[in-house]
Structure 1
Amino acid sequence: MRRMLLLRPLWRYPIISVTVVMLAAVVVLHALGADAVGRWMATAYVGAFVAWTLVRMVRDVLRGHVGLDILAVVAMVATLAVGEYIASLIIVLMLSGGEALEDFAARRARRDLTALLDRSPRTAHVLTHEHASDSDEVQDVAVEHVGIDDVLLVRPGEIVPVDGILLTDSGTFDESSLTGESLPVTHEAGSEVLSGAINGNRAVQIRAVRRSADSQYQQIVALVRAAEDSRAPVVRLADRFAIPFTAVSLALAGIAWAISGDPTRFAEVLVLATPCPLLIAAPVAFLGGLSRAAKAGVIVKGGGVVEQLARVRSAAFDKTGTLTQGQPTLVDVRPVDGFEAGDLLQLAASAEQYSSHVLADSIRRAAVERGIDLLAAEEASEVATNGVTAVIGGRTVVVGKPAYVAAVAADTVRADLTTGEAAAYVAIDGRFAGILVLADDPRPESPAVVSWLRSNGVERIVMLTGDTRATAESIARQTGIDEVHAELLPPEKVHLAADLHPRPVMMVGDGVNDAPVLAASDIGVAMGAKGATAAGDAADIVILVDSLGKVVDAVSIGRHTLRVALTAIWLGIGLSVGLMLIAMTGAIPAVAGALTQEFVDLATILYALRALGGPPSGFPAAGSPPSRRSDTESESHRV
């Protein structure tokens, strides 16, 4: 087995193996005085390699990709022409070894990305009879074949394969890869368990509620695959360095030849024109940045997004669930004369069963906690961000924004609310029936996030929300945002985001209600830690951890990654040009120059791997000082 592991690189990179054997043979022949044989062998082998390289170059050009291999081809031809055939073989070794070096660096850079892929569940234990426990009643199937309502057995230490409802009375799960919560989480029967969570020390049973492709962890895996397959614009920018760098290298080599009158000097200069910083270092740096972000609980959909993050100059935030905690609690039920509080809450919560809004979920939860039974509707419809209308027991119930309710109940009266409170207005059979008061405080880290962005080059920070102006301005004051655009419909959010300057613009929202504006922004950031749509298809970045502070991490990582990529490029170019200038004097023989070039390549690639680390953002690791609360009144809407 050990022998096979040692031989694997030889089979994976056959050109390297053959080149090393050829180089050793030529060196031995040179030592034995058989230079003619060695020259013939080297010329034939390098000539074949040059022809193969030219074919690849033509294919690249036809695909619109201008490569730097022309420098290596000219260097190989030149070294053969002046009799430096050992140097020509070293150049072949450098080019073929570059592939192996790139593979190593790329594997190192993407290790945290591939860790997510490697632990993706592939099989599930489907129970042939619900609550079965014997092994002969369990069937192992591929995870993609699990159907909705299938009952699954999850053994101790196994990964939950699909999203499901816990059937066992209780279970403990490690959800750190999904939410960033380091401590195990205990769920009771009836709770939803997300795929990707690791079961504790007790076997549990779950009922699948989503297929594999729609489950939380598989959506994360899809994001990771998309990030791996992306190609950063800075890599295409590196391609554009190819022409000027090639021209400068050839010019320096030509000048050296002209001044010295020795064609050997042309070859000695050109062997130091290394393309690896452009071909390998920049992609490796961006893979490192994507990997580092994934480890921090931030999935970035490609290197191009990393570059945009590094240059962000404006930031826009949604309010509910983004700047606020997104978990409003019902604090008061205020019926008007002629309606009872219990009936008001029951009818409103029953209607809210047909709404996807965050306030709707809070109202439903509050009714259930109070032991109120929810009623089915004969018909129901929702107007996004405005409210829901349902016919329940023959009564027409409307719940939502004050303007939406006032359209069917002219006697609607706006609520008198205190700071941080929100209200859902209710009309029953065309009469204003009362309001449900909820409270949704700002996230404790929101003021620190806004402050960090402002002090780190983000020139304009705004709030874009469908909420009423009083509520929006209250939250804005507590979080440090000066510019507020309130009572917006989704198309208005998109229009405002498109007109924001300076650019690039980063929009942060919940990834569901804000999908249009996330897609329209230069950088869409979805708070995807909660809910089933973790992939945030409209977003460029998905935050898997329920913390707005990860926005700071994302921007910090983007800036560090771009800085490392560009530095690696210029480091390689600077070293190459400096060494070529020295070689113009004849101080560096061709063989020594070819070997020196290898060290330049290695130095730039190792530098590119710095994208895996880097300085901390300086943002508090856990929370921030509590925000100040103003005494102004506010009222809410459906965000």
Structure 2
Amino acid sequence: MAKKFVSQYPLVAVIAVVAAVGVVLTAMGNEPAAKVIVSAVALLIAALQFKGMIDTLREHSFGIDILAVTAIVSTVAVGEYWAALVVCLMLTGGEALEDYAEGRASAELTALLEGAPTVAYRKADGGIEQIDVDEVAVGDELVVRPHEAVPVDAVLLSESALLDESQLTGESMPVRRRAGDTLLAGSMNDADAIEVRARAVAADSQYQRIVSLVTEARESKAPFVRLADRVALPFTIIAFIIAGAAWAATGYPMRFAQVLVVATPCPLIIAAPVAFMAGMSRAARGGMIIKNAGTIEQIAKVSSVAFDKTGTLTKGEPEITNVVSEDPERMLRLAASAEFYSSHPLAQAIVAAADDVAEPEQARDVPAQGVIAQVEGRQVKVGKYGFVMDTDASAPVEVRPGFTAIFVSVDGGLAGHVELSDPIRPETPGALEAIGAMGVQRTVMLTGDAEDTARRVAGELAIDDVRAGLLPEDKVRAVTEMGPKPVLMVGDGVNDAPVLAAADVGVAMGARGSAAAVESADVVIMLDDLSRLARLLLVGKRTMRVAWQAIAIGVAFSVVLMLIGATGVMPAFVGAWMQELVDLACILWALLAARPSRAERKLNGCESAGVVVEKKREAAHGARRPAPVA
């Protein structure tokens, strides 16, 4: 471990050796030799820092290394060579300290990377063989042992499974999946061994997409430099003014050195990166992958939010809202039996809502019309009115905007009809209310759906503006022209990819969202839950607040120490170590961004209650579904 540290941070090792040599020489009574060696090494490190400062200036960016370089040179010049070495240690050790702090801050991101499945157990020749996860092929039947991860995206073959999806979605409660459901790679099997069929190779599985996003997030550093640069120039000017004034007022050059040793820039350099990484890790813990650290600044300032409708504000899956018949249960059962083999979303909604569904004797789809089947010896037609009644006449009922009517006839007689719609997500009203309370000034719906459908949904949700009938390029234009900025766009489909890329902040919803949307977005919310949007805004605001607070703490303490140093009551050596304590305080404060705020804890409680209610509803609803057909 020591060898690894030395190879990563050689200058820190050199300083430690030089310090040891200096102490030994001083103890032996040879202080002049110690002074020469320590001073020479300190000046060498100052020269290296000066070169880095010049490189920074060539990139048209003002660095704050000039303070550290001046502090080292001035302390050596006045004979405070031990203080110079402490400043050198602070600078060179700052990288090690930053890496350690960022490691603590990015614990959740690291856990995602390290938790990637590596092996799978494939059924073959009547037995089970262990293979590398990269060897899994689509269609392979696999066994997932208890407390192990699903190796690739797969379809559940066992009757049911209890899965921990917290690593993927942030959902703390185990999730019950049933035969035929899709399981995401990385989900932990919480109960008995289960059998699954691979539907994607490892490289194309959901977990690998998350790993790619996390890798991109960890390598993102852009805003850290910008945040420090905003403070660098005024801080540098203040430091030199205080140091120069102390020298001029007393006539002692020692005062100049005593001021600058406590004005080193480590709080500015380290605090912001640690806070940003902690915030990104906090978001990942909640199932929100922020792909670029620069996005956090934009999230914190969001003023307008635009939503796609289908699959974002609504569930994206039709549900029956009304059954009109003299015998609703019988009609629904016959209709569901006729639709038993159909994969059409409307047909699946009818099947899901019915009880005691029977397998039809025969069934035939009629494209764009409906289905005709023999059920319990009766001819059952399900579909458009003209098809089921074999007529050109219009339907005798008026369908409400945003609803679809499916008619049912039995042996040629009209049995009734069902009304279906794409229901609003149960968490959507609360999510919109929450983001409004956080300072979002405007909400807009951007959808390709019909005007009447869009306005019905927007009216129920009190959305400020509605734009319907939009093509993907129309959505891009709308977001580009929209204000006040920054604008955050939420979507989940392939057609949302262009507008997610065009928005100031693009948010892709759901682990099962389209790959195009995930690639184009700045943030991916892994749990298919719109209420996470409010938590995302909270994390962004808190991260920026903590970052600025950490910088403010560092600057404030440094200014106080500079004023004390100007009086001469604090030796340069002591001042250098005091500055180390300031660095530590800044880092500890920056790590607070990894902890949930009071507002987030309150929001989490509301989310959890909503998720439990929804899962109970889904469980009750799913229990009535017929067994999947192979």
Change (3 A) 1:516 1:7: closer
Q: Which amino acid aligns with 1:423?
A: T
The answer as to whether partners of 2:287 and 2:525 remain within 8 angstroms in 1 is: yes
Residue 108 (structure 1) shift: 0.7
Unpaired stretches in structure 2, ≥5 consecutive residues: 326-330, 373-382, 385-391, 408-415, 614-630
2:156 maps to 166
SS of 2:195's partner is strand
Deviation at 1:551, TM superposition (A): 0.5
1:318 aligns with 2:308: yes
Q: What is aligned with 1:23?
A: 19
Name the CA shift for 1:447/1:189 in 2 (closer, same or farther; >3 Å): closer
Residue 95 (structure 1) shift: 1.2
Q: Secondary structure at the match of 1:568?
A: helix
Once superposed, what is the RMSD of the aligned Cα atoms? 3.8
1:140 aligns with 2:131: yes
State the shift of 1:560 in Å: 0.5
Q: Residue 547 and residue 168 in structure 1: after superposition, are their counterparts in 2 closer, same or farther (change >3 A)?
A: closer
Amino acid in structure 1 at the alignment position of 2:137: G
Match of 2:42 in 1: 46
- Contact kept in structure 2, 1:315 and 1:507, CA below 8 Å: yes
**Structure 2 vs 1, CA of residues 303 and 578 (structure 1 numbering), >3 Å: closer, same or farther?**
same
334 and 348 in structure 1: CA distance in 2 versus 1, 3 angstrom threshold: farther
d(CA) in 2 for partners of 1:516, 1:359: 28
Q: Does 1:288 align with 2:278?
A: yes
Mapped pair 1:149 → 2:139? yes
Between 1:61-70 and 1:471-480, the stretch displaced more is 61-70
Which range moved further: 228-237 or 117-126? 228-237
| Equivalent residue, structure 2, for 1:403 | none
* Alpha-carbon displacement from aligned partner over 1:37-86 (angstroms, at most 9, x marks no partner): 11111122213322333344444445555432222111111111111111
Deviation of 1:109 after TM superposition, in Å, equals 0.4
Distance across 2 between alignment mates of 1:342 and 1:436: 12
Q: Which moved more, 1:178-187 or 1:449-458?
A: 178-187
Aligned AA (1:570): A
- Structure 1: how far apart are the matches of 2:292 and 2:511? 20
- 1:267 is displaced (CA, Å) by 1.0
Show the counterpart of 1:633. Answer: none
- Structure with bigger helix share is 2
- Matched length: 578
1:413–1:577 Cα change, 3 Å? farther
Report the counterpart of residue 100 of structure 2 in structure 1: 104
Can you list the C-alpha shifts for 1:107-135, whole angstroms capped at 9, x where unaligned?
11000111111111122233444xx325x
2:607 corresponds to which residue?
Answer: 621
Matched position secondary structure for 2:455: helix
Shift in CA distance, 29/345, structure 1 to aligned 2, threshold 3 Å: same
What's the % identity of the aligned pairs? Answer: 45
Letter of the aligned partner of 1:459 in structure 2?
Q
Q: Tell me which residue corresponds to 1:446.
A: 428
Distance in structure 2 (CA, Å) of the matches to 1:567 and 1:161: 42
Shift of 1:6: 6.8
| Distance of 2:233 and 2:135 partners within structure 1 | 51
3-state SS, counterpart of residue 83 of structure 1: coil
How far apart are the structure 2 equivalents of 1:267 and 1:484? 63
Shift of the alpha carbon at 1:546? Answer: 2.5
Q: TM-score, normalised by structure 1?
A: 0.80
Say whether residues 1:92 and 2:88 are aligned partners.
yes
Deviation per CA, 1:472-514: give whole Å up to 9, x if none: 2332232232322223333222222221110001112224342
Give the structure 1 partner of residue 624 of structure 2.
Answer: none
Moved more, 453-462 or 231-240: 231-240
Tell me, in whole angstroms, the C-alpha distance in 2 between the residues paired with 1:186 and 1:596.
55
In the TM superposition, what are the counterparts of 1:41-440 in structure 2 within 5 Å?
A: 41-62=37-58, 65-129=61-125, 132-134=126-128, 138-141=129-132, 143-330=133-320, 362=349, 371=359, 416-418=398-400, 422-423=403-404, 437-440=419-422
User: What secondary structure, in the 3-state scheme, does the structure 1 residue paired with 2:40 have?
Assistant: helix
Q: Which moved more, 1:41-50 or 1:170-179?
A: 170-179
Equivalent pair of 2:510/2:524 in contact (CA under 8 Å): yes
Aligned counterpart, 2:492: 510
Cα offset, 1:308, TM superposition? 0.6
Unaligned runs of 5+ in 1: 381-387, 393-398, 401-409, 427-433, 627-639
Q: Distance in 1 between matches of 2:200 and 2:417?
A: 35
Residue 587 (structure 2) aligns with? 605
Which stretch of structure 1 is more off in the superposition, 110-119 or 34-43? 34-43
CA contact (8 A) 1:160 1:199 kept: yes
Report if aligned partners of 2:492, 2:514 keep a CA contact under 8 Å in 1: no
